[in-house]
Amino acid sequence: MGDKTFKRIFLITIDCLRGDFVGCINKRSSLTPNIDRIAADSLVFTKAFANGPGTNQSFPAILTSTYFLMHGGMRLRPHYITLAETLRKNGFKTTAFHSNAFLSRSLGWDNGFNEFYDFMNGLKSPSAFITRKQNLKNIVNWLSKAFKLTRFTYIQHLLKKYYYKFADFQIPYLDAKELNNHVMKWLKTNKPEKFFLWMHYMDPHVPYIPPEKYLSGFSSRQDAFKYNCSINFKKIIKRDLEILRKLYVGEVKYVDEYIGKFWRYLEEKNLLEDALIILLADHGHAFMEHDRFGHAFDILYNEVLHVPLIIYGLKESKQIDFPVQLLDVSPTILELLTIEKPSSFTGKSLFRTLKEKQQSSPIFSESARPDLINLRYDLTKKAVSCIKAPYKLITNQLKETVELYDIEKDFNEKKNLIDSNKDLYEEMLTLIQKHISIVDFKKKIGTLKRI
Ligand SMILES: [Zn+2]
């Protein structure tokens, strides 16, 4: 492990890619032949969990090894050291490519990067897409208040349908092919001796508009886009769910195809030598397994938290089947590079967990009700889960619910054990309470002046 010198570090992240849709994790899936080929020579964690259900709740864990609640808002707190900052200090040139508005420069995600391409300008700007959604929400809010409309969801849906009917078609992010082109162009023109490159694929995120060969039934990406926009995601019917699932499958196949193309490029250019490559998803996506669609802040079921995690570049290739968390990815990278981890990193190297051959600490996943218009969170309405194998407790302050599952026997979380396991519930609830008080305290002291 420690006897190899890595000069090229690639962090490949994929938005919304569910763990069970990836073949090397779920043998019944044949959607990802390219990722599976990479996995054959890698460490594959079949039970990796995101520390939050959305981009902005999961990425603090991935890139700073801190919990979302330690930040408490959408903006990354600058006193939490990023992986990129640490690598830059240690002689790596650091570069990022993505097109997710929640990871933008304006929210602090460029911290530590020599070059940061978030593609927030121009017609394809994701922020323009979000602004458009926010404008629509504002109009609906105003109409609802002005006319004392109670059927808010229905009115919102009608307006949305009308609004998008006349909207221009734009893919609201860089697609996999474009992302590859940007990264490969950078690799051709930049040849630093040591570098860290983070690239983030957006394709499996809504709206589902894969290229023609993956469109299953739609005649063009524009038609698929308009279809996506016409759906009332809060009241989804079975037929639409099937169509959306097919489109999502198309996006998964498409992103896998382009990961394969990128990999072949790395092979041809001899860039896999001395390379450490980490591939993961920030979270998954729910298709009504628990009567919810999407990855809203309070969906902490495994369809949203279970993600692929693959590490390539080590001498060893094997499958690890006990629960691990994305919080531990950055400490693992630093351990492999024999770089000391910053004191603000909360996670620990996965190799320590590997030595112990079992889950080494409880896995917390957190979120709170977002206010997307004001880029804030309502921290009185948290949703927090805790995994301590074989059990998982999910608490939801908005709905005032608690659920307890045995995820070894019941990974799909169908049988809530809360009534028959009071002692266990109390024990796991105490873990969550302690965790919340610690992250809350860390959030508060983070704002104090250092003496
Ligand atoms: Zn995401």
CA–CA distance, 414 with 290 (Å, rounded to integer): 8
DSSP-derived 3-state class of residue 295:
coil
Q: Say how many Å lie between the CA of residue 143 and the centre of ligand 1.
A: 31
Q: How far is CA 243 from CA 107, 153, 229, in A?
A: 34, 22, 13
Q: Say how many Å lie between the CA of residue 128 and the centre of ligand 1.
A: 17
200: left (phi over 0), alpha (psi -120 to 50) or beta: beta
DSSP state of 172: S
Give me the residues of the chain with pLDDT under 70, please. Answer: 1-3, 121-170, 373, 446-451
Supply the pTM of this predicted model. 0.91
Q: Which CATH number fits domain 8-124+171-356: 3.30.70.20, 3.40.50.970, 3.10.290.10, 3.40.720.10?
A: 3.40.720.10
**What pLDDT does 123 receive?**
40
Sheet of strand 376-388, all strands in order from the earlier edge strand to the far edge? 363-371, 376-388, 391-396, 401-406
Kindly list the domain boundaries of the chain, sorted by start residue: 8-124+171-356, 126-169
As residues whose CB is below 5 A from the ion ligand 1, the structure lists 15, 55, 282
**What pLDDT does 101 receive?**
86
C-alpha closest to that of 44 among 351, 310, 350: 310
**What pLDDT does 153 receive?**
58
Q: Say how many Å lie between the CA of residue 155 and the centre of ligand 1.
A: 28
Q: Say how many Å lie between the CA of residue 224 and the centre of ligand 1.
A: 21
Q: Say how many Å lie between the CA of residue 234 and the centre of ligand 1.
A: 19
Q: How far apart are the first and last CA of the chain?
A: 39
CA–CA distance, 59 with 13 (Å, rounded to integer): 10
> What is the distance of C-alpha 289 from the center of its chain?
19
C-alpha closest to that of 289 among 241, 361, 327: 241
CA–CA distance, 29 with 23 (Å, rounded to integer): 5
| Residue 49 backbone dihedrals phi, psi, to 5 degrees | -125, 140
**What pLDDT does 372 receive?**
72
| Residue 6 backbone dihedrals phi, psi, to 5 degrees | -90, 130
Helices (H), 112-175: 126-146, 152-165
Q: How far is CA 108 from CA 11, 14, 15, 210, in A?
A: 18, 20, 19, 30
